[in-house]
Structure 1
């Protein structure tokens, strides 16, 4: 008599639903692609850039006769900051220009001015003989004014009047408005990018340029190479 064999026991196979699999893949992908905590501070080579020293930033602001709180920045498509334009406006204000490759310019100025001077309807703010703007209207939190040649957006913020201006020929209203809306007080990293570098300390040698010859009048070496 053939002995009775017990049927083999099969372990149940665990199945993963499509939804569960998608969630698992999303979770694993998220773990691999999360940016580092200080991704904004990463330099071109991926190394972290140390935060600028606040005392140094304040000294660099004083060197251009302003204070860090009065340094504002903005952005506009096709325009970049012209660093050589950075300087003081009035007593302790701040001014800079943003230029485009075709030479167009947007001017940014920040001044400690009397209340309501940003309101272009106040004709007392204009010097004697100067005509008030042909267009003067409220646009959100700002005032838009325009003459035949130029136009500007102005607003008050914490005792300051922030103005973004340009010529009507070089900058259209939409671009100027975008720059005005984007204007904001510079943070420490933006201060480091905008303010001129600190002057060398007394007795400290200036940074040496690699294109200066060791002898002669120190003019850059502009010899033409073999290719022409």
Structure 2
């Protein structure tokens, strides 16, 4: 699950986030070993920021948030390289600060090693829209028991009949 292709977004997911108001230049992906982006989670945060959730096969999750402006750090934040590391209650967060925006990765404490979280946030890169295509919606099921006028059949025997 840690293949680079599994971390790219599909064009459909990027288009959906743009329609919601996410700025294209804030759409990022990260490489997080053992996690893949959940395309249905991709969308806008705040006015024009970008967000997505990465999931593991066993249901663990890491939230990615990218937003404009300076990072307003919590009092408990500690400087760590080019960013900030914070533990807030049950969650840990690493924030990579860029020139005009910041990239945040948030997950439960201990779920992802701090160094791995830091490396993923610092290595965040713009999404390209070259990921696998989004799955098609399921085709309608032909039931065969409905009359052509769309009314449900009447069952005259058994309970309720």
The alignment's TM-score, normalised by the length of structure 1, stands at 0.50
Counterpart-to-counterpart distance in 2, 1:156 and 1:216: 60
Q: Is the 8 A contact 1:105 1:171 kept in 2?
A: no
Which structure has more RCO (C-alpha within 8 Å, separation ≥ 6)? 2
Counterpart-to-counterpart distance in 2, 1:213 and 1:92: 42
How many residues are treated as equivalent by the alignment? 136
Counterparts of residues 16-95 of structure 1 (less than 5 Å)? 60-95=16-51
Counterpart-to-counterpart distance in 1, 2:38 and 2:122: 20
| CA-based RMSD | 3.0
Q: Is the 8 A contact 1:92 1:111 kept in 2?
A: yes
Higher helix proportion: 1
**Equivalent residue, structure 2, for 1:212:** 141
Counterpart-to-counterpart distance in 2, 1:96 and 1:185: 13
**Equivalent residue, structure 2, for 1:175:** 116
Counterpart-to-counterpart distance in 2, 1:57 and 1:99: 16
Q: Are residues 95 and 57 of structure 1, via their aligned partners in 2, closer, same or farther at CA, if it must alter by over 3 Å?
A: closer
Give the deviation of 1:98 after TM superposition. 0.4
Structure 1: gaps of 5 or more residues: 1-51, 124-131, 198-205, 218-228
Q: Are residues 174 and 65 of structure 1, via their aligned partners in 2, closer, same or farther at CA, if it must alter by over 3 Å?
A: same
1:184 aligns with 2:145: no
State the structure with more CA Rg. Answer: 1
**Equivalent residue, structure 1, for 2:154:** none
Give the deviation of 1:62 after TM superposition. 2.6
Give the ranges of 4+ consecutive aligned residues of structure 1 lying more than 3 Å apart after TM superposition: 56-61, 214-217
**Equivalent residue, structure 2, for 1:152:** 93
Counterpart-to-counterpart distance in 2, 1:159 and 1:166: 24
